Structure 1
Amino acid sequence: MSAATESLAAPVAEAAPGRSAVRAEALADLADRAVRARRLVVDMAASPRGCHLGGSLSVLDILIAGLHRAATGDGTEVVLSKGHAAAGLYAALYVSGVLPENPGPRYGLAGEPYTGHPGPKVPGVRFPTGSLGHGVPYAAGWALARRIGGRGGLGIAVAGDGELQEGLVWETCQVAAAQELGNFVLVVDRNGGQNDGLVADISPLPCLAERFAAFGFDTAEVDGHDLAALAELFAADRSTARRPLAVIADTVKGKGVRAVEGRANSHYVTIDAARAAQWKRAVR
């Protein structure tokens, strides 16, 4: 997989025959979804309550690629563990055809399901997340249940790099390795930021791939905005794998909106309609 750089850990399983290359038409469709999803997230930032804009934009490509795998119907479940990026999840679900309605006009309104943290009242959301670290064991549990039942599919957890400060993440990694959950995939949206500033200034994460390898994971490092590389990683057949997979996805906080890209103050944003229209025109 040329787009992903593997670590010194055990190699990532190869994609199944016929699935190793994502078709150009499919990639073009995924890229179009990503643009539409980013514009929708900007709309949600223009709601009265605003949204976690930076992290929603950084994680979007990961979610879209993961949902593309889940759409194969093989039992794959995508769990957004960094639940505060709910706006990104709702947008990804909508452009992927899982949500039948545009969540933007109802986002953040009292009595509506599109809240600041996702819950199972939203189609495509199986587990409630928001308390950081909890979505990782949900996804691992899903992978374990699929394996016990003799069924296929992945349990994909999407976590933030700041979220790795939660001990529950590493407890789950230990269990996943001990249970040889080769169908469990933990993707780290490494955008370098968290609520209080930069991860490097608060709780640095050097040698992250090596840490996961020490827990018994296969590892891969990838550009978290490279849809081809992400889709290829998710398409890999891990039915015979015995080591879980950690994907370290390097991303940009606020990706796609030049005015906020890489800026710590994009963590939570409320904007007016005029600013939203300006940003949406510039989304790429």
Structure 2
Amino acid sequence: MNNLLVLTDFSKSAKHAAVYACSLAKQIQAKIILCNVVIVPAEVPLAGFVAWPLEESDVLLKESEVELKKLKMQLEKMDDYPIPNSDISFRSDPGILLDVVKDISAEIQIDFVITAAHGSGLGAFLLGNHSRGLIDDIGTALFIIPPTSKIALIQKIAYATDFEDPDHEMKFIRKLIALANLLKAEVFITHVYKESDVSPAFYKSVQQIMLDISCENDYPKIHYKAIKNVSNKKGLDWLMAHGDMDLLVMVHHAQGFLDRIIRGSLTQKLAGSDAIPLLVFKKAPAP
């Protein structure tokens, strides 16, 4: 059974992400682990800083546990997405967000981390320090849930790529197909490119990837969609406006498709696509 680590700060956006996680858990038969990270300053103060009383730290952790219990009860009582009591657990951990996520992932097999997009959509989330750190530094696949995204069955998934790293595409497409199989969802492998930048050999390699996918996977709901002669910005813009997708999936690695989106003006386009959750797979760095 899959494990979903759902990060929460008890905000409205975070509670919406938790409800989304319940819907997802029901579809893929997953367990939910609610997690609130309590930032507690070091017990030994640095020069010029005032020590944080340990009593205050204990109060924060106790308050966190109370709120987690409330959230757990609220999720269990939802009529639309009922989750059995044994399938929702919670934990309140002191420390720094990234360190806590890594520590939990080392203790338990975490299949997906789920977090809310705060601010003005995904663009604001991708530019934030904590969020960018989650994308950059954790290896677990990350769901980013905008506050206005619909809570419904995931039926159509878009995997957006420029196929600049075709050798690694198959690895992540296989992971996505495994998820899509559980969801019984259609997968649209969406190739965004400029025709002038694509050589015949490159295009042939993409065709080979699609052929390999068809041969390897006994899953009929895989489609190929080409968006050509446009920039990454315009291609993703078209996909958001006309694709009618329930989930957008991208792979993050240095100088890759998503990395260029994060660094460039396309973050502003993502800021306007509040309704579509994003799933980010992380490519491991080269040894």
Q: TM-score, normalised by structure 2?
A: 0.34
Relative CO higher for 1 or 2, CA cutoff 8 Å, sep ≥ 6?
A: 1
Compare the two structures and name the one with the higher helix fraction.
2
Q: TM-score, normalised by structure 1?
A: 0.34
